Structure 1
């Protein structure tokens, strides 16, 4: 196996910090989902419409950024296996299965069901059921959930169970990783010309322009036909978006030229991103009514604005990260491993806590503060528990570390992502 010729085997602390920040931002976003008047698992009886533009600030790009940095993390992980000799792609695939499949399955049958439970409770109340918890709707709930026999339907459709809800990201990441492993099994010599080609095409302003063109094309061509479902089998626009940026993150992770390009473009990208956000948020606000139908020409124009918003914010985040987030340390080492169990648990904690806080009628700011605090405390508690469970910690996203390695306080491998 030839040595990696493109860059020395150094860590990208900036990408570690960005990944941690993106997951933390996702927790806050899901707390916000309780308060905006958008359909979610549970909704506040006191929705705050004015929060919608704030939510739109990150909605177009946060998950795209996560797939990109996950692709970059996957590159460092694969390179570690490749340096061990032949069979690197096979070992990489086995590592991804071990790290992602157990928490996905555990979450679907243990962690996610409370989200469905309280979604059914609130839907039943909306239909006039006085005590849903003791009604036939929820008798033998888990059995009905696990066997897809709940019959939980209303005018908007039926709940399909078992489900992965927020864990769709992990399911997609696993699928993309296994597809990538199949490609890598044919050899990794193509990585060198691909990175070199990206550096040529994305030189200068191309780093800002050409990805926007790609994002706009797939949004114009695929989004109207294939709305996002998170169902894996029919989610073609989402795959075109998420898999492409995952592969881009994998191919470009070791490029010092692209890293320098992000840093150079960070200020104009941020300005462009804020302008695009203002346009997109104004559009979403103006046409927010359920029966609102924007003109087709305006919809097409806003798909372009959405693509500008997506990539310009990502370039700004990666650029400022490259400029200011190049140091590691114990906090980063702790959080780099911790964000996966945070992700696994956070939405269930938010849904359950929000459902029980709402009837108390607390002032909104106090209620929201308690909900955020409870979610983060629950996530930290989950992580600390998972670190002490040995191999069972895999169910919550933490692989046990040998004692000698922990004592040396080495940097966590990308496999801990």
Structure 2
């Protein structure tokens, strides 16, 4: 199935999930979680809702990226693939680290700093990826994608794919893979107990790599891919059960008297894996069945969603710095922050980046091919005619 046409369900999910990431960051100043800027008052209910959606937004995006890696590798050489990733991932990451991230660090420590322009060189040279860690992970995963894709084309890889194909015929078969995800998550999280999203933190990188590889494997076989849509109701039922288990443990009383800290964390990571895996299977299945068209506006959103992701958090932090000081309720502040930051981020993407090839290159978009003017086209046609006459 590697040479398949564009999958509309992935276009939809990519846009929906990046917008969900945007909504998450809009709400961060109000959930009491100690973000870059924080409102004086916070909402515990908001935090309880946000922690659930944290479990599957980015894992599903990494799965989609794995699918995209296979589709690209089916059309270009490994060398071209690496060049494409360097241009479309590394360049925007470098520009983002040097220019887009520093305002966030400045706002976070504004009381201890001078003017922004004085502090910019120091902030830029910290090379803090901040929310752009997602791009850093994709660069590293792209390097893994080439040997993984070669393995999947081998006899050993085809054996793995056939076994997975067999699983799809068993009730709840694909959900069984969550056991492998749990082993990876618990093992590496106990060995590397860190909450940061740095590529060297194996508790995070191996977790997301599992989803990336899953995307690469699932797209190899048409039967496996279509089973996502066929088993969507089954996966939805598993998601509902996983959700109940998740919140049952989330709201459980203090268990420290009965269970060690490591055991309690292991249970938490397990229920998080249940939600992450079942939610991803469910989203892919329902999208495959119901999101079958890619309208023009969706294709344009897919083009601009990358720079939107790069800019959105900085815009949110800067605007939120002012809004949190206003004497308004939390819902009203969230609404104002949502509308203003979405408008400004969209304007940056649409009016500053989209029309100009220089900015398109810096933020990972393909260049706009210039159409020849009528004068140039006429000249070229006359030149071809002249050459034909000479040969005659």
**Segment drifting more, 333-342 vs 205-214:** 205-214
More helix by share: 2
**Is the CA contact 2:65–2:212 (under 8 Å) kept in the aligned structure 1?**
yes
- 2:92 is paired with a residue whose SS is helix
- 1:270 is paired with a residue whose SS is helix
**What is the deviation of 1:242?**
1.1
Q: How many angstroms apart in 2 are the aligned matches of 1:28 and 1:398?
A: 24
Residues 255 and 17 of structure 1, relative CA distance in 2, 3 Å threshold: farther
1:53-68 alignment to 2 at 5 Å? 53-68=48-63
**What is the deviation of 1:282?**
4.5
Aligned to 2:33: 38
1:137-286 alignment to 2 at 5 Å? 140-147=118-125, 161-181=126-146, 188-189=153-154, 192-226=158-192, 227-233=194-200, 235-285=201-251
**What is the deviation of 1:95?**
0.6
Aligned Cα root-mean-square deviation (Å) = 2.6
> With structure 2 as the length reference, what TM-score do the two structures score?
0.85
Q: How many angstroms apart in 2 are the aligned matches of 1:79 and 1:104?
A: 25
Residues 193 and 375 of structure 1, relative CA distance in 2, 3 Å threshold: farther
**What is the deviation of 1:143?**
2.5
| Aligned partner (choices 394, 399, 409) of residue 361 of structure 2 | 394
- Answering whether residue 312 of structure 2 is matched by residue 346 of structure 1, we say yes
1:144-163, Cα deviation, whole Å (9 max, x unpaired): 2234xxxxxxxxxxxxx320
**What is the deviation of 1:177?**
0.4
- Answering whether residue 325 of structure 2 is matched by residue 359 of structure 1, we say yes
Q: How many angstroms apart in 1 are the aligned matches of 2:365 and 2:12?
A: 18
1:40-62, Cα deviation, whole Å (9 max, x unpaired): 11111111111122102211111
1:32-111 alignment to 2 at 5 Å? 32-81=27-76, 88-111=77-100
Q: How many angstroms apart in 2 are the aligned matches of 1:210 and 1:381?
A: 44
Q: How many angstroms apart in 1 are the aligned matches of 2:273 and 2:143?
A: 28
Gaps of at least 5 residues in structure 1 are: 1-5, 82-87, 125-131, 148-160, 406-417
Aligned to 2:375: none
| Aligned partner (choices 16, 21, 27) of residue 21 of structure 1 | 16
Q: How many angstroms apart in 1 are the aligned matches of 2:358 and 2:160?
A: 38
Residues 192 and 16 of structure 1, relative CA distance in 2, 3 Å threshold: farther
- Computing the radius of gyration over CA atoms, which structure comes out larger, 1 or 2? 2
Q: How many angstroms apart in 2 are the aligned matches of 1:176 and 1:294?
A: 40
Q: How many angstroms apart in 1 are the aligned matches of 2:362 and 2:117?
A: 27
Residues 7 and 25 of structure 1, relative CA distance in 2, 3 Å threshold: same
**What is the deviation of 1:7?**
5.7
Aligned to 2:259: 295
Aligned to 1:151: none
- 2:298 is paired with a residue whose SS is helix
**Is the CA contact 2:72–2:81 (under 8 Å) kept in the aligned structure 1?**
yes
**What is the deviation of 1:328?**
1.3
Q: How many angstroms apart in 2 are the aligned matches of 1:391 and 1:175?
A: 25
**Segment drifting more, 237-246 vs 198-207:** 198-207
Q: How many angstroms apart in 2 are the aligned matches of 1:215 and 1:313?
A: 14
Q: How many angstroms apart in 2 are the aligned matches of 1:337 and 1:194?
A: 34
**What is the deviation of 1:302?**
3.0
**What is the deviation of 1:206?**
4.9
Q: How many angstroms apart in 2 are the aligned matches of 1:166 and 1:11?
A: 28
> With structure 1 as the length reference, what TM-score do the two structures score?
0.80
**Is the CA contact 1:216–1:303 (under 8 Å) kept in the aligned structure 2?**
yes
Q: How many angstroms apart in 1 are the aligned matches of 2:170 and 2:57?
A: 24
**Is the CA contact 1:65–1:314 (under 8 Å) kept in the aligned structure 2?**
yes
**Is the CA contact 1:29–1:55 (under 8 Å) kept in the aligned structure 2?**
yes
